[in-house]
Amino acid sequence: MTGDAGRARRLLARPGGWIEAAPGGYALRVGRDRRARTLLTVDEAVFRDLAGSPGLKTRAGGGWVARAAAPTPAFAPPEPGRPGVIEGVRAVMEDDGRITSRRANLGQSAIVWLARRRDADGRPWLAPREIAAADRLSRDAETAASGPSVTMRWDALPRAGAGGGASGRAGPDTSAMTAGARVEAALAACGPARGMVEAICIRASALQAAERDLGLGRRRGKALLKTGLAALADHYRIG
């Protein structure tokens, strides 16, 4: 499978390269339409591998093409131990619902920054269940964003298989569509805190920037965020 996956990636990277469902698997062609001969046929496992890397998006004429690689940042992220990196652990919820701890850079987002804060009594400002809920929402949003487009209405992502494909066979956008619906349901559960939760957990805004953008008074956003994260944890049935 490894050899087929490598060859398939190279074909998809060529101008005009695309893949579609076909009898016996998925056919790769390089050309404008189906008159181009099939250069390679791969099985479901290779197709799923391609959907993960380089990623696929729906093709206007049917099938899928490779998703464009994200641009390389002008500056590489700092290495552990350098300025901007705070080594530590954070609580995350696994797919089976268990809360576990993972090593992480605690300087990456408002959530992990707040997770290090303590209240007047010396207690962590965010409970583990609230941190885990924020992490789960962020991961679902990342999955939803891997679809062919992103909308502010998360359950409005394009349906899987749009543009062609074998009947009943899941395309690479299926997980994005399902994740989008989960994100929309989770945000709706946050009530008035939805905007703050979305800004911090999905858009990765800084706390003060989110307060400013939402027209909230200083520290009002922080309290609203905690209320929203508690509601989010209840929605996910964490803790």
Q: How far is CA 233 from CA 1, 84, 128, 191, 205, in A?
A: 40, 29, 10, 13, 20
Rounded Cα–Cα distance for residues 211 and 60 (Å): 40
pLDDT of 55 reads 85
Q: What is the pTM of this model?
A: 0.52
Q: Find out whether 170 and 51 touch, Cβ atoms under 8 Å.
A: no
Q: How many residues does the chain have?
A: 239
Q: Does residue 191 come out as left (phi exceeding 0), alpha (psi in the -120 to 50 range) or beta?
A: left
DSSP strands (E only) in the chain: 17-22, 25-30, 40-42, 56-58, 64-66, 87-93, 99-105
Rounded Cα–Cα distance for residues 173 and 193 (Å): 29
Q: What is the mean pLDDT of each run of 10 residues along the chain (239 residues)?
A: 80 92 89 89 88 83 78 44 50 55 59 82 90 90 68 45 44 72 93 92 82 86 93 92
Helix 220-236 and helix 174-189, axial crossing angle in degrees, nearest 10: 120
pLDDT of 29 reads 93
